[in-house]
Amino acid sequence: MSTIVILGSGVMGSALAMPLADNGHDVRLVGTHLDREIIDTIRSTGVHPGLGRELPAAVRPYQLEELEAAFADAEIVVSGVNSFGVRWAGEHLAPLLQPDQLVIAIAKGVSADDQGNLRILPRVLAEPVSSEVRERVRWAAIVGPSIAGEVAARRESCVVFCGEDRAALDRLAETFRTGWYHVWTSTDFVGAEVCAAAKNCYALAVGLAEGELERRREAQSTDRAHNYEAALFAQATAEMRAWAALVGAREETPMWLPGVGDMYVTSTGGRNVRVGRLVGAGLGFSAAAARLGNPTLEGAAAIKVFGGALVKLTERGVVTADDFPLMRHLHEVIALERPLNMPWSSFFGGERTAVRGAG
């Protein structure tokens, strides 16, 4: 049995308590400063209000000020915050982490430096930790199709734990793996994380299709926009492969669970898709986000980072102006709030250009 601390009691961090509890581990769920009501509800009812499910008895809730107590004898730490809270989490974990602890993160996103070079979020998480400890902690992340409600309901789920230390990944996989929570491992840390971030952007794009039908007042038509969605999904797949190549990832990484698998499940629903639908219907991004109550939109945030990075990478000659046409247009629509005008003919190398394997 292992002692595991989860920092962040949102739906995904809390859902991960299910396989851990099923495996008999001691799970300590710590809320952030935004989670006080969640922790209070769990303490009083045993039910997580976001998941609508009772948490196992092995899961003990803690408020943020009890984080140090929760860390007593902890072997594994789960950073359960979203991409907006990663640096905050790193700052709170920094004084508590010990050499040889294992840290695994769930946030999906990316950052970029002034030159447009991409940085994965586990690096951002580790930054506030002293170099002496940082180099001895084993860092990892969870990628792949993983809807929190389905994990909490113990639905069959297949995910990838990625990191640089094979032995650490194997131990983490054995800690979490159950008969329904299936875990593969990959040492393509950067590639898997970049794919996990990019898929949120491209899932938002898929949402534009339903919005286009509404804008054309054809939402009730039996003829849907699946052709539109499929073309975007295919172009997104091509661009994820290009992102992977750009960061030196393995060719296969975008083509399985960290890439197309995760993009598929994210494209089927959620906040990124809903805001895409509103934008497709004719709203500017700010108005669309406001209509949804300004929720956390990791896809939109990542579009701003990827798109901003493309500007700098193009200026440096690392990529050409013809590369990544879908991500570039998403950046125009989301970050710059320009009208949606999908650049179909620029996809797949250009409509009037012979494509390898065609004809």
Q: Tell me which residues are annotated as active site.
A: 199
What is the b/e burial string over 27-41, where b = at least 16 CB atoms within 10 angstroms of the residue's CB?
A: bbbbbbeebeebbeb
What whole-number distance in Å separates Cα of residue 46 and Cα of residue 53? 8
Hey, how many other C-beta atoms are within 10 angstroms of the C-beta on 174?
A: 11
Hey, how many other C-beta atoms are within 10 angstroms of the C-beta on 153?
A: 15
Helix H or strand E segment including 341: none
Fill in the DSSP letter of residue 120.
Answer: E
With CA atoms as reference, report the closest residue to 142 among 180, 174, 169: 169
Distance of CA 346 to the CA centre of its chain: 27
Contact 191, 247 (CB under 8 A): yes
Hey, how many other C-beta atoms are within 10 angstroms of the C-beta on 132?
A: 8
3-state secondary structure (DSSP) of residue 23: coil
The alpha carbon dihedral of 350, 353, 355, 358 has a sign of positive
**Can you name the residues that pair with 79 across neighbouring β-strands?**
7, 105
* Lateral strand order in the sheet of 181-186: 59-62, 26-30, 3-7, 76-79, 102-105, 138-143, 157-163, 181-186
Scanning the structure block, which residue is given the tokens 């008895």? Answer: 57
